[in-house]
Structure 1
Amino acid sequence: MNTIVKFAGVVLVVVLSGCNVHRDAQFRKGHWVFGGFERPKGVNPIIEPDTSSVFYDPMLRKEIRWEDNDTFNPAAVVKGDSVYVIYRAEDRTGKAIGHRTSRLGLAASADGIHFERLKTPVFYPAPDDQQDNEWPGGTEDPRIAQTEDGRFVMFYTQWNRKVPRLGVAISTDLKHWVKYGPIFKQSKNNPNLINEPHKSASIVTVLKGNKQVISKINGKYWLYWGEYGVYGATSDNLIDWEPIMDHRGAMKAFISPRHGYFDSALTECGPPAVLTDKGILLLYNGKNHAEKGDMRFAKKSYSAGQVLFDPRDPTSVLARMDVPFLRPMEPFEKSGQYIDGTVFIEGLVFFKQKWFLYYGCADSKVAVAIYDPRHPGLMDPVPGLK
């Protein structure tokens, strides 16, 4: 792992070496990494497809089994004394990933592990002003965070099977949502971005007491987003966002895929970022390139990494992990709708003095891993290292 530290404009790169560096205390030498996250024994997956769930679809005008094919890629938030997970569910209307219709279901848990779920989705394509953006592909891959005044802000992918776009919606109860449409629809910095593929948004949050809430950076709300690189955007109202541009007026990724690493094909933003005393911590999803990746990991598999940004300059990277802290290990993480295996992280909450990380398993099921800062566990081992 290479740690970048700035002193009066001078950049020093500190190389941490050692075959076990990812598994023990050395890995947290800078004390900025979250983890290790451990899977609770005997409980995963916590959400699986349900063939009995039926609802009347307003687009198809008929009843449909909306979550009988796959349930995956969950967002999470704490409300009251419970954890609520909003997860992506696919029906059986198509024969491949991206060719079915996705809707979002809601589940609740008093312990963060055992969930009860509603039988009907809480968010889905409908004959509304977002129909052209969301039908027939649906609403995908949510991330949720809460404002200090109690509103829930959800960023999600609007998929019309033409152009994937980031949309935003707001709720006060997690069941009833107001859709505000694409987040870049009013952009002046890059008015063409609305017609270009973009997805995966991680808004910056902070712990205030034991409550994780949306934070501002330099006076504005701050969002990391992107799939083939991590970009940024700012907003004054949580609805209309401006992408960050460089001095030449072009968009530039703050981090990008790296040849020879687990994130060599994609660096896709994960759950809401967290402002810590060390910096802004972003957990992200890395896809391993089939030919140019880290050959210790399965080709095309998705694993989870972490990167630390400077809170004074949120475009500047302070440190980045070179190996994943979570990777496909369990059978249901290695095999499913996505045959190459994935742990796809999207939900992170602070609950009962621990961090609960919710993730999709091979685009088929939902699981949880837990990090107790008082008793950190081990990172997932790198293949071939002990």
Structure 2
Amino acid sequence: MTTVSIFEDARFPLGPFVPYEGNPILRPKGDSWESANLYNPAALVVDDEVVLLYRAHAEDIVSHIGIARSRDGLHFEREDAPILSPEHDYERYGCEDPRIVFIDGTYYLTYTGWDRRAAQLCLATSTDLRDWTKHGPLFEDFDTFKTVDPRGHTWSKAGVIVPFRIDGLWWMYFGEGAIYWATSEDLIHWTPGTSDDEPMYSPTPGSFDADLVEIGTSPVLTDTGLLVMLTNGATRTVLDDGTVEVDYRCGQIAIDPAEPTKVLARLQEPWLRPQTFEDLHGLVSNVTFVEGLVKFQGRWFAYYGQSDTTLAVAVADPRVGFGVRAGG
């Protein structure tokens, strides 16, 4: 059976989150497939351990997905070989940015297949986190940037699956640029709820997500019945020399399952922003990018990438109110 966790101490917004003083918790290593950059992890709890499925690559910038485990949520042991690697044309330059959910004995992993032109949201399934069946791109001919900054071709990323049915269907929230929704009868085949010119949530002018929004983490079901998801938002600044500087910060949204196509509320200020050296310097600088969230040993652990180069965590104790926004 599907197990749905209702977190009795979860409210909107979640937090405050405080970046761990020992960050980064994972760095690139050696001269292997993860020698250059390591970031953007999915997270889940399995057998009293936190499991991270993270993106990493060597200097060739061809991403694979690796796995690491921890008994305290802070110190991780990683396996030498990736668990998911490029095989097909649509992902030949990378399997990127995973999100994961566990339903009825099966892990459903969404990730981005990258061919250096189109980014496509893809799906893979497994019963053991080792042997994966790839189901290919989910939303061909869909551009989630269409109302923001059109790509002119297929582009979709960032899918999070709700771990229970709503009105008899499975639901997914997805999108980079703007956010959309889709439904499924079998968790494998997904149909967008609208065309790509009708997002359910768009960037907010004048805010920290003025130029793009992207779904971050899988939903948390609060004791009030709301779905809360962490998000990523970005602003772009054109400098005097014509180069573009980006700044990625983390937000939150709340959705009422009774009206699953509407964002009920959004966090007005980011709960995390670039501050440390690793947040501010890297392959893509000025980035805090959240993709993993778990409740573990009584605390929330939010895992995020730092400037597409290292991996960090911010921790929240639910006994502490949201009086002060972590991240300044």
Q: TM-score range by the shorter chain?
A: 0.7 to 0.9
1:333 to partner: Cα distance: 0.9
Structure 2 partner of 1:20: none
Q: Give a deviation string over 1:305-353, Cα, whole Å, max 9, x none.
A: 01111211111122111210111121111111112x1110001112112
Q: Work out the CA distance in 2 between the residues paired with 1:251 and 1:182.
A: 20
The reply on whether 1:221 has 2:170 as its aligned counterpart is: yes
Deviation at 1:134, TM superposition (A): 0.9
> CA–CA distance in 2 between the matches of 1:224 and 1:71?
25
* Distance of 2:94 and 2:20 partners within structure 1: 32
Structure 2 SS opposite 1:71: strand
The aligned counterpart of 1:134 is: 91
CA contact (8 A) 1:66 1:89 kept: yes
SS at match of 2:278: helix
Q: CA deviation at 1:226?
A: 0.7
2:276 is equivalent to residue 330 of structure 1:
yes
Shift of 1:73: 0.6
Q: Which residue of 2 aligns with 1:69?
A: 36
| Alignment of 1:289 onto 2:236 | yes
Whether 1:104 and 2:70 are equivalent positions in the alignment is no
User: Could you say which structure has the larger radius of gyration?
Assistant: 1
CA shift at 1:281, angstroms?
1.1
Task: Map 1:226-245 onto structure 2 (within 5 A).
Answer: 226-245=175-194
Q: Which residue of 1 aligns with 2:25?
A: 46
What secondary structure does 2:90 align onto?
helix
Counterpart of 2:3? none
How far apart, CA to CA, are the structure 2 residues paired with 1:227 and 1:179? 22
Give, in whole Å, the separation in 2 of the partners of 1:355 and 1:236: 31
With the length of structure 2 as denominator, give the TM-score of the two structures.
Answer: 0.87
Aligned match of 1:365: 310
SS at match of 1:300: strand
Query: C-alpha separation between the residues in 2 aligned to 1:169 and 1:44?
Result: 30
**Residue among 130, 136, 147 paired with 1:181:** 136
Query: What letter corresponds to residue 352 of structure 1 in structure 2?
Result: Q
Alignment correspondent of 1:258: 204
Structure 1 residues 250 and 370: alpha-carbon distance in aligned structure 2, compared to 1, 3 A threshold: closer
Partner Cα separation in structure 1 for residue 14 and residue 313 of structure 2: 15
Write the mapping of 1:73-92 to structure 2, written as runs, cut at 5 A.
Answer: 73-92=40-59
In structure 2, which of residues 122, 126, 147 is the aligned counterpart of residue 167 of structure 1? 122
Query: Which consecutive segments of 4 or more residues in structure 1 shift more than 6 A?
Result: none
2:193 counterpart letter in structure 1: I
Equivalent runs, 1:186-197 vs 2, <5 Å: 196-197=154-155
- Tell me which residue corresponds to 1:201: 159
Contact 2:20–2:312 (CA under 8 A) maintained in structure 1:
no
User: Which residue is equivalent to 1:35?
Assistant: 15
Counterpart-to-counterpart distance in 2, 1:68 and 1:374? 39
Tell me the distance in 2 between the aligned counterparts of 1:110 and 1:231.
Answer: 35
1:332 partner letter: E
CA–CA distance in structure 1, aligned partners of residues 11 and 182 of structure 2: 27
Contact 1:48 1:70 in 2 (8 A): yes
Distance in 2 between residues matched to 1:334 and 1:308, nearest whole Å: 28
Aligned to 1:271: 217
Deviations along 1:159-205, one digit per CA (max 9) or x if unpaired, are 11121111101112212211111123699xxxxxxx6111111222x
- RMSD of aligned residue pairs (Cα, Å): 2.2
Q: Which moved more, 1:79-88 or 1:367-376?
A: 367-376
CA deviation vs aligned residue, 1:212-271 (integer Å, no higher than 9, x gap)? xx12222111111111111100111111100012xxx66411111122110011101101
Is 2:230 the counterpart of 1:301? no
Gaps of 5+ in 2: 1-9, 143-152, 239-243
